[in-house]
Amino acid sequence: MEDFFPLWRKGHNGPWLAHRLDRDTSGCLVVALRKTALLAAQNMFARGAVEKTYWAVVRGDPKEDRGQIDLPLGKVTTGKRWKMVVDRTAPPAVTAWEVKGRGDGLAWIEFRPKTGRTHQIRAHARLLDLPILGDEVYGRGGSGQLCLLARRIFLPLEPAVVAEAPVPGHMAVGLRECGYGEE
């Protein structure tokens, strides 16, 4: 999508991405049309003022119904591949999580990252021994599409900005197995 931004740009106006999602993550993105809006949004992300809600379908049965993982993540490169691992010298990475539903060997988890590190939710899910379906880096050899959705984003502006993404088709089956649509 970002490749097309220069075609849509008029003069010094946007669009510009205010933040990023992992390559295979579906869902909400904040796109600014004016530089002032871009800088304001980036400032909110940097301060941790933006509320982000992600949904994932994971393999496994969580032992608890909710929790918080607070483990700093640093990048490790092996050959041409890289991933994020616990690194006590790295910047903080904090993710709150809650089980929204359970299915046969699967769980639907809502993640609320408090920080914004690369691959944070995927790495933290794996550290909980709950790899996200379709995650070829942190999963258990899984293939297919990543079942991670940036479901909702809230920017505390006046008036507030709220965006909510629909569930993509590739996640719907797993979510239904875990009770989605029954609430």
* Active site members: 22
CA distances from 71 to 6, 28, 64, 120 (A): 38, 25, 18, 10
d(CA 130, CA 138): 10
> 182: buried, middle or exposed (CB in 10 Å: 19+, 13-18, 0-12)?
exposed
d(CA 43, CA 159): 17
Residue among 58, 117, 52, 49 nearest 83 (CA)? 117
Spatial neighbors of 50 by CB under 8 A, at least 6 apart, are 19, 30, 41, 44, 153, 154, 155, 156
